Chain A
Amino acid sequence: MAKYVLTDPVIVFAGSTITSSCASVTINLSADDVETTAFGAAGGYRTRIGGLKSGTVDFEMHQDFGASGIDSLFFPNLGGTVAVSVVPGGTAAVSATNPQFSFDVLVTEYSPVDGAVGDLATTSVSLPITGEVTRGTGA
């Protein structure tokens, strides 16, 4: 897969595809920075090892109160754990060059209404990932 423009990622939240209601998606992964500096460190520099990993996923969405719209997926799941998957490369088969990121999130926030007069109705969330993040390759 070459460089590409992000237009058609497949985004599934709680079993429903929300791709066409999303304007932005960000998966943030990180590992704790655990310092291991001891007396006599070479050259006087600190040393570190990686600790526990964690992450968040951010969505910017167009609000929709329809029967299977955004509100129907987020409001009932507030406080619950929900499965999420993102295939950045789109609808082509998941493969080593079109990976699928899968994980669970804790729905810790949700703003049913978030906008000013005249704006397109949108809602944004930043949800912590709970458990392992897998990078599926279809193998």
Chain B
Amino acid sequence: MATLSEIRTGIATNLGTISGLRTSAYVPDEPKPPIAIIFPENISFDTAFGRGLDTYTFTVQVIVSKISDRNAQSNLDGYCNPSGASSVKAALESDKTLGDLVQDLRVTEARDYRAATINENTYLTVTFAVTVYA
């Protein structure tokens, strides 16, 4: 059965297929946009008997450059698209088993498209919810 760290790394690997987007399986001290950071949010254990299935919920926060930058908004729009070369959903679901590590994976929503202050700088961010069955 896959470990949490292995799943985080697998998600980061899938996101790495988006050209120009940095990925981090763990929260960096000083994120350098554009970057996608993976956060474990919830684990529901024992959704089948005999340790047959656990359900993980991750959030992937995508941070692009400052909100005043028009290109930042355009780039973030691209990450939010349901398909295309920059689509986070398409990249994450390009290999739904993360290399046979998990049973299935689905990006369920993009939310909280807004400005966020990180290390005294204001960036534009969006958060994706990812459900993983492992």
Chain B neighbourhood of A118, CB < 8 A: 106, 108
Chain A neighbourhood of B49, CB < 8 A: 6-9, 11, 19-20, 22-23, 25
Query: Which of B50, B52, B106 has the most CB atoms of chain A within a 10 A radius of its CB?
Result: B50
Chain B neighbourhood of A8, CB < 8 A: 49-51
Query: Which B residues are closer than 8 A to A by beta carbons?
Result: 46-53, 55, 104, 106, 108, 133
A98 is an interface residue with CB less than 8 A from chain B: no
Question: B130 to chain A: closest CB distance in Å?
Answer: 13
A62 is an interface residue with CB less than 8 A from chain B: yes
Chain B at the A interface: mostly helix, strand, loop or mixed?
A: strand
Q: How does the 8 Å CB contact mask read for A12-40 relative to B, with 1 for contact and 0 for none?
A: 00000001111101000000000000000
A20 touches B47 (CB 8 A): no
Closest to A7 in B: B46
Given A7-B46, A120-B133, are A21 and B52 also a contact pair (CB < 8 Å)? yes
Chain B neighbourhood of A22, CB < 8 A: 48-49, 52
Chain A neighbourhood of B133, CB < 8 A: 120
